[in-house]
Structure 1
Amino acid sequence: IFTGDTALTNGLAELREQSSIDLAIMSIGAYNPWIRSHCTPEQAIEMANAAGAQFIMPVHHQTFRLSFEPLREPIERFENALRTQAGRIALREIGETFVLPM
């Protein structure tokens, strides 16, 4: 699934009932000050978990300064929130590749 720019919503939980989700492509940046239309890294993980995603690919961070949070804060918070499940993180840095296990 790809959520685009989205704030925290319960809507992704419905996807879990419809099919299995291998990869959730989740926006993790630009939440400060736009929390009503962008989620925090922790909220992105919460929604991916609700959808039942096996892997999470964080996007919408580190490419350019769009909001008030420090440039690396979103990925650092994302990695910290998944520190006990690091294998679920599909990409960490721009330019990396990820092959979905079959």
Structure 2
Amino acid sequence: MARFLTECPALHPANPNGDYLEITWLEPTGRHKRPRTQAQTCTMCRPEWYELCMAGGLWVIRRHKVAGQHQVAGDRIIQTHETEFMREKDAYALWSDIVYGRAR
């Protein structure tokens, strides 16, 4: 189950269950320049985090992963992938699956 760590008040997705749904992650399409984030998991405690976003009446879930560290600036290098755009009800169902470890 999703849990809150005592040191960090942000939402942390549960570890995947043994038989979880494997999500097809796509390269970002750039379909919408600035989607609005509706929900987000912790960006600091794990090298992977998720955002539930809405843009133009459609919903998308984005996965961000730390892919390394920039050698000169020291900034994290982030890879972003997203699901297909979908209806609100489908997006919330998939978001719930991610948070409770039923999908990755």
Q: TM-score range by the shorter chain?
A: under 0.3
Determine which structure has the larger strand proportion and give its number.
2
Determine which structure has the larger helix proportion and give its number.
1
- Greater relative CO (CA pairs within 8 A, separation 6+): 2
Compute the TM-score of the two structures, normalised by the length of structure 2: 0.26
Q: If you compute each CA radius of gyration, which structure gives the higher value, 1 or 2?
A: 2
Compute the TM-score of the two structures, normalised by the length of structure 1: 0.26
